[in-house]
Amino acid sequence: MSGETVLANARLVLADEIVTGSLVLRDDRIVEVGQGRSVPVGATDCEGDLLSPGLVELHTDNLERHLSPRPAVAWPHDAAILAHDAELAGCGITTVFDALRVGALRDAEGVRETAYARGLATELQALWRAGALRISHHVHLRAEVCSHTLIEELESFGPDDRVGLLSLMDHTPGQRQFADVSKYRQYMMGKHAMDEAMFERFAARLVDLQAEVGAVHEAAAVAAAGRLGATLASHDDTTPEHVMASAGQGARVAEFPTTLAAAEACRAAGIAVMMGAPNIVRGGSHSGNVAAAELAQAGLLDILSSDYVPAALLTGAMMLAQLTGDLPGALATVTSAPARAVGLDDRGELAGGKRADLVRLRLVGDIARPVSVWSAGRRVA
């Protein structure tokens, strides 16, 4: 791309204030930030709409939904990736870390999972290099500690794979997200059509597997994050002891801590707290864990993630703004804070020299509707 774009008469969402002004974009960068309502000849009149940095998404399972739109239905990968990419762009997301699971179960009470991350990452990269994707895609490896194939899958990734985030997942029943085993029972019996006896055997097998390989797999995942240059994230920390262990491993982000005590311990350890935007939108956790709004009111919420609903990222940030009365601070949880957490210092702010990732927002009641989206200075939605 070459040329200059001027966006004028907008309410610019800056780090700690909103000012009426304009932006000048040249190629893929913001080169000037001005103030005032004037609309120069040739500029786009934003008509007083909000102009925010593009949203940065660190944890989304949305690609998996496009790959399998219904149970047992597999969709062509290229078509699924392109649809996923277009959906995110339409939601104002300009940078995404696509969550790919590494670590599968070979067979456990009829549950057999397929290792897919390596192949899918290659397909994502091919489309990205061909210029077919609208927004910036990076890889988030979800390392399933309680699994059979984790180490061999991790070894298949290298420094050129754009792995920017690696999270330690442990979904063993009876702890962390599923400390309430009844919630896990409900989830697994519904997903895999298990009866009670099948679930009990399955859960016992996972507990045994975690005891057998958990420590070795955690160490391998931490080492892989270092080798790949990826930010390390914990997942579902529940106790201060969990957080201490995560800090000792070098975690910089805590995905979805399940209790207030864990979030407080993260803040003390300098670990950024990420919560799901659907938790904000729905008014609480679907697993019965701490509410994101409670952490926000306690000053313990740093980053929002759309998790399983891309549109929830912007909706959740706007609801957070209503809760706190701080729109710049709320939008920072989906722009500058996630970018900073994974070392992307070139985006997430409306400032000279930053990457021209932007979203123009028009308020419709309490909802912010993306009117236009730019990724690296190119309009993509």
Cα torsion for 335, 341, 346, 352, to the nearest 10°?
60
pLDDT digits (tens, 9 = 90+) for 71-93: 789 999 999 999 999 999 999 99
pTM to 2 decimal places: 0.92
Please report whether residue 371 resides in a domain: no
CA distances (Å), origin 308, targets 26, 63, 279, 300, 375 = 34, 9, 11, 22, 22
Please report whether residue 360 resides in a domain: no
**CB 130 within 8 Å of CB 93:** no
What's the mean per-residue pLDDT of the chain?
92
pLDDT digits (tens, 9 = 90+) for 211-245: 888 899 999 999 999 999 999 999 999 999 999 99
Q: How many Cβ atoms sit within 10 Å of the Cβ of residue 31?
A: 15
pLDDT score for 58: 98
CATH code, domain with 341: 3.20.20.140
**CB 57 within 8 Å of CB 276:** no
Please report whether residue 362 resides in a domain: no
pLDDT score for 288: 76
C-alpha–C-alpha distance, residues 285 and 115, integer Å? 29
Please report whether residue 327 resides in a domain: yes
Contacts of 212 (CB under 8 A, 6+ apart): none
Please report whether residue 189 resides in a domain: yes
**How many domains does the chain fold into?**
1
pLDDT digits (tens, 9 = 90+) for 25-65: 999 999 999 999 999 999 999 999 999 999 999 999 999 99
Contacts of 13 (CB under 8 A, 6+ apart): 50, 51, 52, 53, 327, 328, 331, 350
Tokens of 275: 């919560």
Please report whether residue 114 resides in a domain: yes
Write out the residue range of the structural domain in which residue 222 sits: 54-349
